[in-house]
Structure 1
Amino acid sequence: MAQAPLLSRRQLLQLASLGGPVLAAGVLAGCSRGGDAGQLLSVRGQLPSAWLKALPSSWRSQVLDSPVALLERLRDPSSASRLVSLGDGWVQQLPPAELQPINAPALLELLDPIAQAPSRLFAGPEAAAKAFPWAFGTWVILLRNRPDLLQRQSEGWALLLDPSLKGRLVLPASPRLLIALAQRQLSSTPGAVPSPEGAALVNQVRRLHRQALSLEESQGLNFLLAGDADAAVVTSQRAVPLLQRDPRLTAFLPATGSPLWWQLLVRQGPRGTTGSTGSPLPLEWLRDGLSLPLLDRLLAAGWVPPLPTSQLASALKRWPARLRPLLLPPPAVLERCTNLEPLSPAQRQGLQQLWDQAMAG
């Protein structure tokens, strides 16, 4: 990860005055109290409250109860321009033609190169940036009072198949994620060759699914905290706040890595428009989420901006050693993490057939 310096508010304003017309317009509009108000839509609990409270007064905020409710709200044919915060999987359900470019090159350049693909919504290196990736992380194994399993973390994702976890394991509800985890289990098994069509992978998905007590992350965590489950696969963002509050819990990211999750800000323009219209982006507000003091508030809630390693490592020095690799995995582990990119119709059909075969066994 290459190092890129953070800009202060004064530097950002100076940069705007030195010939960045789009940047200047965004900064001035973000600080202005006049003009048409922009609208920021987010899901409850998925945008840090400290950051949301700092939103400029020229923007209105609406918090929806779930990603499904937010997507339904976006179907409203209102002509208002919206800034939308969603996970990368949910953003993929938005029609690409309705998303406007994110005209914030100076801010995007502050991010680590790992953020380039999600900023383009995985559309290729020549595509325009249509998202601002403000947080990312991994999936981890969260354990409750199981030091014996923690000592065996070198077994990686295969640990989820331990007989003691049958009926005491919480897994995410996403079939695609479970298939990805099963593939990683096979990759750590000598002699196994995982492939989307392979019988070995079908069997592995079936075995993993049969271990589960629950396939619903938020409700399943209640089972874990109540002692009805011993382990859960959760996002690093969910794990970090729990680990700070509950000494019975431990967590680790297997050395083989995991799929990455991303939180993205995308811009939905009025129907029938193609270029950037509506309220300019609140650029200074976006920058504040990448720097102190707000950066500490984001990290405390488990939200990690995709900044260069050197900057994040410096910010994490104040954190307990056990939490640092969950917030920022070691470079070798992070290199083994992969994005869950949009699927082609053929790929989607293939995974659906694999899942159906696994569930039929």
Structure 2
Amino acid sequence: MTEYQLLATAASGIEALTGDELKEMGYEVQVENGKAFFKGTEEDIIKTNLWIRTGDRIKIVFGMFEAFSFDELFEKTKALPWEDILPMDANFPVSGKSQKSTLYSVPDCQAIVKKAIVDKISSFYHRRTRLPETGAQYPIEVAILKDIVTITIDTSGSSLFKRGYRSEKGGAPIKENMAASLIKLTTWRPNKPFYDPTCGSGTIPIEAALMGLNIAPGLQRSFVSEDWNIFPENMWTEERHKAKMAADYSVELDILGTDIDGRMIEIAQSNAKKAGVEEYISFRQMQLSDFKTEKEFGIIVANPPYGERLEEQDYIEELYRQMGDTYRSLPTWSKYILTSDLEFERFYGRRATKKRKLYNGRLRVDYFQFWGKRPQRKRNTEK
């Protein structure tokens, strides 16, 4: 098998979590802004696509070099071993971006990279006519930053947040990989109660259940690289089988999702069923202020409405006050609340233990963390 330089992309502020996931899988990782670099074989491409919860895509870094002219971009792109990965009928669309670079025209850079690859493949396969591009798709990106060109091939296709279980969603849904990231930023473990008071279409509780049961998030979806001929026969089938066998459905989970909107509860239940975790989550139509429990040391993760429109602001501020009043009676529970409202603490009535800046799509948000009391350690009374 071939070893590749691989790249897991992630939202700004999440890349460290993606890097941690890769480290837990046994890879040596270098984390940069929005990126986690690691090395791996064809098997690792499949494994990371199936298992990464917080990342966006797994890409092959096929080339990296300096270029200050279009001629230089063309020649250095053509020099790359495209014949090692692209078959004669490969369909290879080229996207691009450029920042702070001499070569700032993205359409021109895309066209030049495309032409360089066509020349190389045509020469290798002795083609004098136009390449058919009727085969498997190999999405290629040319990204130029400060005159450093990085050419990548996307192995995922659609973003990894598209797990395949969410056929319906609410008005302001959170992406699945962001939901997984919010959970990973807590101290939750499968033996603790977990509660989402504004669950909407159920994404956060569903992601918690997938984690608790050790279900690979990519099991229900397809990937663009499944049709590539670099993979030995049946490798995708074998890795999927390994992932299925790794799930542990004997784990007892205590996960609750509530929402004031009964229609959203129906959608959440439907999505949980598609994800195969409906038996492990309780969904209930309920006002946030009605939550009461005798359980201790639980975790609350909430992505409440942000109140982006002026007419919603009064409702949002009252919702935040309700959170503060309701959760004050839960001193052992830790609460994690995502919002773009920097005044959240004022309405909630308490300063956060910690805040973390994140991006929900392009929207800057803060993750307000209120840590609960820790359970007392049992003293060793043996002499």
TM-score category (smaller protein): under 0.3
More strand by share: 2
More helix by share: 1
TM-score if structure 1 supplies the norm length? 0.25
